[in-house]
Structure 1
Amino acid sequence: MNLNKPVIILLNKPFGVLSQFTSDSTQKNLSDLIPIKNFYPAGRLDKDSEGLLILTNQGKIQSRISHPKYKLRKTYWVQVEGIIDQEAMALLSKGVKLKDGLTKPAQVKKILAPNVWERFPPIRERKHIPTSWIELSISEGKNRQVRRMTAHVGFPTLRLIRSAIGPYSLSSSKLKPGEWKKVHYEFPH
C-alpha cells in the first residue's frame, strides 16, 4: 500500500454485533472481528442492522464520512413488511416528519430481493403477510432513521443492510459478513 495515502477499513458488519470496540456485556462487538488497534467506526449501524461499516484512524476522515454537512450518501437494502406501494415511496422521496424533525428527501426504488447471505436468526415471517425490498439512499444519519422512516409510511423494516457509503460498496468489496479489508481512502467529490 502507498504509505502517503490514508487507509480505511471496510467491514461487512454482521447482525447482532455492536458498532463499537467495547461493551459492558457479553454482546459481540468490533473487537471480536477486527484485531487492529486505533481504528474507529465512521458512523454507526445499530446491533440489528447489517452491512458496510467504514473504520478509520483519522478524525478528519471520520468526519468526512459521517458528518451530514458532507452529504455522503448511505445506501440501504431494506426488507419491509408488506408490498410497498408508490404512495409510500413518494412520501419517503419527499422526506417524512419524525419526532426529531423532517428528514431530507431520500432516493428510493423498489428492488428484487438482493443476493445476500442468510441472516441468523432469520427475520420474523408472518404466514399471510408478504414482504418486499427497497433500496433507500439518504445523506443524513438520524438515530435509527431508515427504520423510523419506513414505519412512518406503514411498512416496518424487517431487515436492514447498508450496501454502500459514498463510493464504497458491499458489491465491489465482495465481503462476507464478518470479513474486512484495508483500502486506500479516496474522498468522493
Structure 2
Amino acid sequence: MALILFNKPYGVLCQFTNESTGPVRPTLADYIDRPGIYPAGRLDLDSEGLLLLTDDGRLQAQIANPRYKTPKTYLVQVEGEPDEAAITALCRGVRLKDGMTLPAQAERIDPPALWPRDPPVRFRKTVPDTWLRLTIREGRNRQVRRMTAAVGHPTLRLVRWSIGDWTLDGLPPGEWREA
C-alpha cells in the first residue's frame, strides 16, 4: 500500500489530467510520477496544503468519506477580525444553503510561518485580516470558505494543514513524501 503526502500549491488541479476547455492548469502529474495512486479527497484550485494520495481504495474511502468524520485542520486567513460571536458560531455549526454544518473547532491564531503564496493574497491597508485554525469533520464543497463567509469573514487564503494524524510539517509546496 502506498500513501503519499503532497503539499498542493495554489492553482494546481487535484487530478492527474487537465481535461477542461478553459486555461491549461498544472495538475498532480506535474509533481508526482507514481502510477496507480489517486487523491483521497480534493482541494480547490485556490486552496493549498495537504493532499493525501493512495493506491488503497479502502483507505481512500476512509479518508474522503464524510461518514468516517476524519478531522481536517485548516489554517485560514480571513478578511476582518472575527469576534467571539463569529468564533462561537463556527464552533456550534453554521447554516449554509445545503443545511447546518457539524460543529467545528475554531480559534484565532497568530499568523503562521507559511511559504509565500504565488500570487500573493491581496493586501488592503484599510481592512485588517485574521488567521484562524479551523477543524472540520465533514467535507462539503468549499465548506470552510462558505462557513467563514456565513459568519461575515470571507476567506483570503486557505491551507489544509492536517488530515487525521498526517500533517504538512516540513513539507514545502510542490513536494511529496511517503507516509
Q: Secondary structure at the match of 1:162?
A: strand
CA distance in 2, matches of 1:81, 1:149: 13
Pick from 35, 45, 61 the counterpart of residue 63 of structure 1: 61
CA distance in 2, matches of 1:46, 1:20: 11
Q: Does 1:101 align with 2:96?
A: no
CA distance in 1, matches of 2:15, 2:100: 28
CA distance in 1, matches of 2:61, 2:90: 26
Match of 1:182 in 2: 178
**Structure 1: stretches of 5+ with no match in the other structure:** 1-5, 184-189
| Percent pairwise identity | 55
CA distance in 2, matches of 1:94, 1:84: 15
TM-score, length basis structure 2: 0.96
Could you tell me how far 1:26 is from its partner in structure 2?
Answer: 1.4
CA distance in 1, matches of 2:31, 2:161: 19
Could you tell me how far 1:71 is from its partner in structure 2?
Answer: 1.1
Could you tell me how far 1:181 is from its partner in structure 2?
Answer: 0.8
The one-letter code matched in structure 2 to 1:159 is: R
Could you tell me how far 1:63 is from its partner in structure 2?
Answer: 0.5
Could you tell me how far 1:11 is from its partner in structure 2?
Answer: 0.2
Q: How many residues end up aligned between the 2 structures?
A: 176
CA-atom RMSD in angstroms: 0.8
Match of 2:111 in 1: 113
Match of 2:16 in 1: 21
Q: Which runs of 4+ in 1 moved over 3 A?
A: none
Match of 1:163 in 2: 161
**Structure 2: stretches of 5+ with no match in the other structure:** none
CA distance in 1, matches of 2:110, 2:82: 12
The one-letter code matched in structure 2 to 1:22 is: T
Could you tell me how far 1:70 is from its partner in structure 2?
Answer: 1.1
Q: Secondary structure at the match of 1:124?
A: coil
CA distance in 2, matches of 1:7, 1:29: 20
Match of 1:7 in 2: 2
Could you tell me how far 1:7 is from its partner in structure 2?
Answer: 2.3
Q: Does 1:137 align with 2:132?
A: no
Q: Secondary structure at the match of 2:59?
A: helix
